[in-house]
Amino acid sequence: MKLSASNLGPTGCGRRETRKRETELRIHRCALELTDERGLDGWTMDDLADAADVSRRTLFNYFPGKVDAVLGGTPELPAEALEVFHRGGPTGRLVDDLSALAAAILAEKGFDPEVMALGHRILHQTPRLIVIAHERFEQVTGDLVDHILRREGEGFGAARARLLVRLLVAVFDVAINQLNDNPGDRPVAEIFDENVRLARDLLA
């Protein structure tokens, strides 16, 4: 599955997409809470359907299994933000513009900082999830590398682009750890930007 651009389209379609995102996030949150309370093997998809107040059929329309529900959906880039990035914006500085893409993903999905912190904690406590999350990470990294090379040109180098993505993911991981320590203190995008600036100073 490619890390693609999402487009809400007309107003009616936009409302439907908003409701779908809300349902997806509710199911994801419930899956995390059930895992936190009972462990990954301590609940069923029927339990999740009841907790999220959806039918079993609706549940499987969103997630094929419990691991998918716990990890959440694959992130999508808003079409407008991706177009701006491909044109060299919004700042003209690659690292800052990748940070803007990350912020766009968070805003588009409507991520709750507390849910993100809970997911981060559960992921690092469940080895089985780490393996699958790593596979997803490699897929998303490859897509982002493609977007960087489309913008910067093949001469930028795939290895260089991949290293940049991995560095930014490491910085994001630090931001989530800080969010875990101070939940609800500040938006994760703000914490991430602050750590990007700190990383630049350290590597300068």
pLDDT tens readout for residues 121-131: 899 889 889 98
- Where residue 162 sits, what CATH number does that domain have? 1.10.357.10
User: Which residue shows structure tokens 């630090």?
Assistant: 174
Range(s) of the domain holding residue 13 = 5-203
Average pLDDT on 27-53 reads 96
Residue whose entry in the numeric block shows the structure tokens 């800052």: 96
Q: How many domains does the chain have?
A: 1
Of residues 200, 195, 202, the one with CA closest to residue 179: 195
Beta strands in 8-147 (DSSP E): 77-78
Which amino acid belongs to residue 109?
K
Q: Supply the pLDDT for residue 116.
A: 83
pLDDT in tens, 144-176: 999 999 999 999 999 999 999 999 989 988 888
Q: What is the pTM of this model?
A: 0.78
